[in-house]
Amino acid sequence: MKAMAKQSGLTLVELLIASTLGLILLLGVVQLFVSSSDSFRMAESIGRMQESGRLAQDVLGRAIRNADYWGCLQGVEVDSVLDPDGDDYDPDLHDFNGAPGVTFDVSDGSNNGVAGSVIISLKGVRSAGIRMSSTHQVSASSSQIKLESLPSGLLDKSGVVMLSDCQNAVVFQLTSVNENSLTIGHNTGSVVDPGNMKKVGGGCPNGSNSANCFPDTYENGEIFLPFTEIYRLSEDADGRRSMFLTRGISGSSAKPVSLELVSDVIEMEAQVGIGTQGDNVITSWLDVTNANLATINSSYVKAVRISLLVRSPEDRVARQRQQVCFPAWTDCSSSANLWEPADANDRHYYRVYTSTYSIRNRLLNTGT
């Protein structure tokens, strides 16, 4: 009887079966990798989008709540001796003559702005912890102010400060700072830009007859740091939008500085809560639009409601074009009122972040 030959190697069928099983296993591994990669990209995009939304809300909320603070002044307008005819003078940044602490505008798209988005301008002062020397009165002819203390590096030539004795207040530009002698100077003229007012034809433009154009004499007082902050949206050459902050002045400079705060903030709209003087009650809400700008009296604004549209930094993370209710006070019961990106192929994630902020210094003081 002939013995059966032993098999050596694999048959073609076995090779095909092994190859098929290997391909199936490889496809499974690839699918798992792709799914994990997509999930990671989606989670990262959503996380960064949420971080941008929270950061923008925190920055705006803190700024709005602290706006329109003028130290111990109660119902008294601030005077300013900054020269409106000086070089680099910008009324939006340097005007403190009774200027409202909160104002609004709508971008027309110029200077890389996002057309139709709200521009929020805030003014006020911050405490510097610096007091005038009680033994050195600031007279009508004085150009130097003696201080009790002067922290190093806080003030510098060209900086802008406010002097207040709780009855009057004046904003002026520093022409000299001496930390050793604890003195600051406020000469008139164009020693710095934009400079302080100077006498013209025997008098000052603000009606004062003093040598330094100060409208009042100060026997005591405190030095504050006035500020102007403008929050707006801007778009770069690649179409990427961000929230920017322009700071107009500081204790060491009068030149504006623009800072990019939060990226991928696509739209910003606002409503203002209006209330009568003498109480803390908000009687109506107005949309900040071009049509309402003339109607909104900034002096009666008690609160601000802001709606931000934030986009994920990555594209191709959403399965379809997003639709969101923006701004949040829109009647979105009809899908026709939902916001969606103009590009039908847009696959970014979009979220709306809306908060209401009170202007604390107006609610606490029922006289305004």
Q: Tell which wins on pLDDT, 319 or 67.
A: 67
Q: Which of 216, 238, 262 finishes a domain?
A: 262
Q: E strands within 264-333?
A: 265-274, 284-287, 301-311
Based on the fold, state whether residues 150 and 183 are members of the same structural domain.
Answer: yes
pLDDT of 331? 92
Domain match, 239 and 333 both? no
**Final residue before a domain boundary, out of 262, 293, 310:** 262
Considering all CA atoms of the chain, what is the largest pairwise distance in Å, rounded to the nearest integer? 138
Note the pLDDT tens digit of each residue in 206-247: 778 877 788 888 888 999 999 999 999 999 988 899 999 999
How far is Cα 172 from Cα 197, in angstroms, rounded to an integer? 9
Shared domain check, 304 and 224: no
Question: In the numeric block, which tokens belong to residue 328?
Answer: 């949040």
0.75 exceeded by pTM: yes
123 and 226 housed in the same domain: yes
Q: Report the run of H or E that residue 249 belongs to, with start and end.
A: none
Check if the beta carbon of residue 98 is closer than 8 Å to that of residue 80.
no
Domain boundaries, position 354: 22-65+264-368
Separation of alpha carbons 312 and 348, rounded Å? 6
Which residue, among 118, 121, 68, has the nearest Cα to 98 in the 3D structure?
68
Residue 186, judged by CB atoms within 10 A of its CB (0-12, 13-18, 19+), counts as: buried
Length of the chain: 368
288 inside domain: yes
Query: Do 115 and 222 reside in the same domain of the chain?
Result: yes
Give the chain's domain count.
Answer: 2
- Mapped onto helix, strand or coil, the DSSP state of residue 70 is coil
Render pLDDT for 259-295 as a digit per residue (tens, 0 to 9): 999 999 999 999 999 988 767 889 999 999 999 999 9
Token match 């199936």: residue? 24
**Using 50, 70 and 90 to split pLDDT, how confident is the model at 305?**
very high
Q: Given this model, what pLDDT does residue 40 score?
A: 62
How far apart CA 185 and CA 160 sit, in angstroms, is 11
What pLDDT digit, counting tens, does each position of 55-106 carry? 999 999 999 999 999 998 876 778 899 998 888 899 999 999 887 899 999 9
Residue 8 lies in a domain: no
Give residue 81's identity as a one-letter amino acid code.
Answer: V
For residue 359, being part of any structural domain is answered with yes
Cα separation, 95 vs 53, in Å, equals 32
d(CA 330, CA 287): 11
Taking alpha carbons only, the member of 276, 329, 270, 268 closest to residue 301 is 276
The enclosing H or E element of 32 equals: helix 12-65
Q: Which is it for strands 79-80 and 169-173: parallel, antiparallel or unpaired?
A: parallel
Angle, vertex CA 343, rays to CA 316 and CA 36, nearest 5: 10
| Same domain assignment for residues 209 and 269 | no
Q: Are residues 217 and 78 in the same domain?
A: yes
- pLDDT tens digit string along 333-362? 888 899 999 999 999 999 999 999 999 988
Whether 15 maps to a domain, the answer reads: no
Domain boundary among 229, 262, 295: 262
Quick: pLDDT tens for 144-201.
899 999 999 999 999 999 999 999 899 999 999 999 999 999 888 767 899 998 877 7
302 lies in the same domain as 315:
yes
Tell me whether residue 3 is in a domain. Answer: no
The verdict on 292 and 240 lying in the same domain is: no
Residue 221 zone, left/alpha/beta (φ > 0; ψ -120 to 50; rest):
left
Is the Cβ–Cβ distance between 110 and 186 less than 8 Å?
no
90 in any annotated domain: yes
Query: Do 137 and 90 share a structural domain?
Result: yes
Query: Does residue 192 belong to any structural domain of this protein?
Result: yes
Let me know whether 33 and 59 are in one domain. yes
Residue 365 token pair: 């003081």
46 and 150 fall within a common domain: no
**34 lies in some domain:** yes
Instruction: Report the 10 Å Cβ neighbour count for 168.
Output: 18
